[in-house]
């Protein structure tokens, strides 16, 4: 029954558009597609106070969000460690106040920091999830942080080319 109501509503909107457009076929043809797209758009996903976790799990979650088309809003107090992989979404925005924490990769079984070729491979892999400016910072500074976290703010990331979250959603930038 809901689908019939929506269909009826779409027909009424299409008829209204035809009258207002003076029977402009292009406007009428586009109207149902816009409505259908709006109905399929998933709600924004908020990433807030995320401590990170096992990188492959976070990557899988990020890839699922990308496939869904959801807007990813990193707008909490912090996003640490593997959480920063969410920056790879093409529909990501960041809040200027959010604190982002980066550190050298470690072995998940031993919790020891990687060295040598394993370090190079892992850090280059992580850099692929960042835009060019952040990847450059990561390779020069962030990946070498072996104690604690190297911190950047959302404002820092916005200056590096990431989009700022607005109260309505992603802003241009």
The Cα 78–Cα 101 span in angstroms is 8
pLDDT at 38: 54
Cβ-defined contacts of 105-113 (< 8 Å, 24+): 105/55, 105/143, 108/54, 113/146
Whether 41 has a pLDDT exceeding 80, the answer reads no
Q: Which pTM was predicted?
A: 0.73
Whether 172 has a pLDDT exceeding 60, the answer reads no
Q: What is the pLDDT of residues 45-103, one digit of tens each?
A: 999 999 999 999 999 999 999 999 999 999 999 999 999 999 999 999 999 999 999 99
CATH class of domain segment(s) 45-159: alpha beta
Whether 111 has a pLDDT exceeding 90, the answer reads no
pLDDT at 68: 94
């Amino acid at each position: 029954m809901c689908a019939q109501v929506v269909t009826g509503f779409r027909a009424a909107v299409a008829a209204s558009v035809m009258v207002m457009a003076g029977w402009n076929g292009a406007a009428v043809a586009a109207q149902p597609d816009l409505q259908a797209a709006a109905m399929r758009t998933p709600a924004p996903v908020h990433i807030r106070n995320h401590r990170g976790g096992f990188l492959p799990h976070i990557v899988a979650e990020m890839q699922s969000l990308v496939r869904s088309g959801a807007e990813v809003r990193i707008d909490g107090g912090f996003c640490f460690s593997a959480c920063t992989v969410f920056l790879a979404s093409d529909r990501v925005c960041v809040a200027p106040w959010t604190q982002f924490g980066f550190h050298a990769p470690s072995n998940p079984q031993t919790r020891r920091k990687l060295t040598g070729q394993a370090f190079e491979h892992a850090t280059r892999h992580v850099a692929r999830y960042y835009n060019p400016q952040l990847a450059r910072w990561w390779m020069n500074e962030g990946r070498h942080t072996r104690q604690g976290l190297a911190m950047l703010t959302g404002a820092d990331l916005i200056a590096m080319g990431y989009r700022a979250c607005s109260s309505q959603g992603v802003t241009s930038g």
